Amino acid sequence: MKSDWWNDFKDRESAANVETRRKQWVFYFCNYFGCVAIIFFASQHLNSDDDFLKWTLYLTAAFLVTNVLTSYLFDLLNLFCFNTGLVISIFMLFLLYGGGHENTALYWLYPFPLVLFVLLGYRLAAIFNLVLLGLFAFLLFNPELIAANYPHADKTRFLSSYFCTVVIIYITEFFRVRSHFELSRINQDRQLQANTDQLSQLPNRRFIDSSLLPDISQHPDKYFPLAVVMADIDHFKQVNDKFGHDIGDEVLRHVAGLFQNTIRSSDVVARTGGEEFLFFFPQTGAEVAHKVAENIRQVLENSPIALQAHDLNLTSSFGVACATQNDDLTQTLKQADENLYVAKSQGRNQVV
């Protein structure tokens, strides 16, 4: 079992999935609401002589509709968000170029930096906004290149205020993302603590019930045939009585380390209580499971723990059972427990 076993099972819901859902809602809102708003404004200019503004609005709405409808067919949210951000940026340039209704285009550009930050993330959105700011400045200070006519004071104040808006949103988004993932990391650390046996640093019973068994149920092809092995350290109570609980704890850590280092990276071993351990061997039949358990038994038997006065020899008994489907798992666990009892009743230090 890998030392970072929790990475395969930890719940990242509070980080990536939540952020993705937030982006999805913003994406759909921007596209649907944007379409409705743009079509509404375009309809106000049906009889207008400003064909440039009218066609800019209609073409933008058409692209947004096409983009959002296509997004239902493909699981490519980031690409469609990028497309939306790109068309918004082009729309902003066209709006500034044409001047909009009664030359008020500059006032309508302020909401869009925030939309870009939400859709594209703070890094890419910062690049988009700074490039746009540069293009705005170039067009505004080369009035012969655009159709609109803006007063000089409006140009300078717009560029300054737009830059301040971008900086403020960038700082806000940067620290929002950092705090979001920091809270997620804290939550994942707590999940790890709750699913880890603090003495042995192995998975615990809670991990088996809340993470492993549900994963087995959801992904049967990944696990079955599944071998289950129950192990119990022989005469552990005598170790505690003779040497004390501190030595008993050292024994548990020693055994847990041997078990963890002996099994495969795809296998799982958990401490389920006291001196009891539970192994799960995915894609393993009964015959192979017996051989693996026997190998673990021999490794433990040949690896005494060093005490101050002498070495303490340790052994363990093993009960093996195998499940071929998820419905058999409860009975398989029961069978492994019964086989462990047989192994202990027949003299211990053996695999049944």
CB 317 within 8 A of CB 232: yes
Give CA–CA dist 134/229, Å, rounded: 66
Give CA–CA dist 267/180, Å, rounded: 33
Backbone φ and ψ of 254, nearest 5°: -65, -50
Q: Taking Cα atoms as reference points, which of 132, 96, 133, 115 lies closest to residue 169?
A: 115
Give CA–CA dist 115/27, Å, rounded: 9
Query: Active-site residue 275, yes or no?
Result: yes
Return the residue matching tokens 């019964």.
338
The one catalytic residue among 144, 182, 250, 275 = 275
CB 87 within 8 A of CB 34: no
Backbone φ and ψ of 329, nearest 5°: -65, -40
Return the residue matching tokens 């015959």.
287
> Helix, strand, or coil here: 186?
helix
Quote the Cα angle for 27-33-37, to 5°: 140
Residue type at 282?
P
Residues with active-site annotation: 275
